[in-house]
């Protein structure tokens, strides 16, 4: 037990974040205590503002401060190719490669019956609604996990009556890992080697 309840509380909160252990949580709390009150206030305000301002893009469902995100609003991005990903962080990972000029669709997860995540919990209806005749290709870039695989097959089946060309990225991304942690070169290669479904 730390000799301060307020420090203890912050440590608990930091430790509740992914990948943050108790030791790192303590280090972060003490780091903040050494900052000026103004700096810590700015930090806290940035967190609350992020939470209240950020919402889903009305088109692709990635996180954005506006009604429509910068990618969907850009005339430079082709509407004929949609890349489907699980999370907004995957959009950032693919954008880092700088190769993809189409648009995205963020599902906000993957099918996982064991965790009670079904089709209605994902932005699947919205994806199907976007598969209009102008769309030439839908690239499935889901995580190489069991859930990602199940979701890939589900989307392929769901969209087959629409006649849209569905492809998936190559298996360069290691099985069981997250797309967002793949290095840029691997991700770029996976895009180049995509295969039809």
Binding site for Zn ion (CB under 5 A): 57, 59-60, 69, 72
Q: Three-class SS of residue 61?
A: coil
Q: Is 138 in contact with 131 (CB distance < 8 Å)?
A: yes
From residue 141, give the alpha-carbon distance in Å to each of 4, 24, 82, 178: 46, 33, 10, 11
Residue ranges of alpha helices (H) inside the chain are 5-15, 22-34, 37-53, 70-73, 88-97, 124-130, 146-159, 184-192
Residue 186 CB, shortest distance to Zn ion, in Å, is 25
Residue 28 CB, shortest distance to Zn ion, in Å, is 32
Smaller CB separation from Zn ion, 11 or 60: 60
Smaller CB separation from Zn ion, 10 or 60: 60
Residue 17 CB, shortest distance to Zn ion, in Å, is 26
Q: Is 80 in contact with 135 (CB distance < 8 Å)?
A: yes
Residue 72 CB, shortest distance to Zn ion, in Å, is 3
Compute the CA torsion angle 157, 161, 166, 171 (nearest 10 deg): 10
Residue 123 CB, shortest distance to Zn ion, in Å, is 11
d(Cα 165, Cα 102) in Å, to the nearest integer? 14
Residue 143 CB, shortest distance to Zn ion, in Å, is 20
Q: SS3 breakdown of the chain: % helix, strand, coil, rounded to 5? A: 50, 15, 40
d(Cα 85, Cα 44) in Å, to the nearest integer? 30
Smaller CB separation from Zn ion, 11 or 103: 103
Which H/E stretch holds residue 96?
helix 88-97
Smaller CB separation from Zn ion, 72 or 169: 72
Smaller CB separation from Zn ion, 8 or 56: 56
Smaller CB separation from Zn ion, 72 or 107: 72
């Amino acid at each position: 037990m730390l000799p301060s309840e307020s420090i203890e509380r912050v440590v608990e909160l930091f430790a509740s974040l992914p990948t943050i252990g108790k030791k790192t949580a303590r280090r972060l709390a003490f780091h903040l205590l050494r900052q000026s009150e103004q700096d810590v206030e700015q930090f806290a305000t940035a967190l609350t503002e992020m939470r209240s301002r950020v919402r889903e893009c009305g088109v692709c469902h990635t996180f954005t401060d506006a009604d429509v995100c910068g990618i969907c609003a850009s005339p430079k991005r082709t509407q004929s190719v949609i890349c489907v990903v699980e999370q907004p962080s995957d959009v950032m990972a693919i954008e880092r490669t700088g190769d993809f000029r189409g648009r995205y669709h963020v599902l906000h997860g993957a099918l996982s019956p064991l965790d009670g995540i079904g089709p209605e919990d994902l932005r699947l209806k919205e994806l199907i609604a976007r598969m209009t005749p102008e769309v030439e290709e839908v690239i499935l870039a889901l995580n190489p996990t069991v859930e990602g695989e199940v979701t890939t097959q589900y989307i392929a089946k769901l969209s087959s009556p629409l006649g849209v060309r569905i492809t998936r990225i190559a298996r360069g991304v290691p099985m069981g890992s997250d797309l967002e942690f793949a290095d840029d070169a691997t991700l770029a290669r996976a895009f180049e080697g995509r295969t039809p479904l």
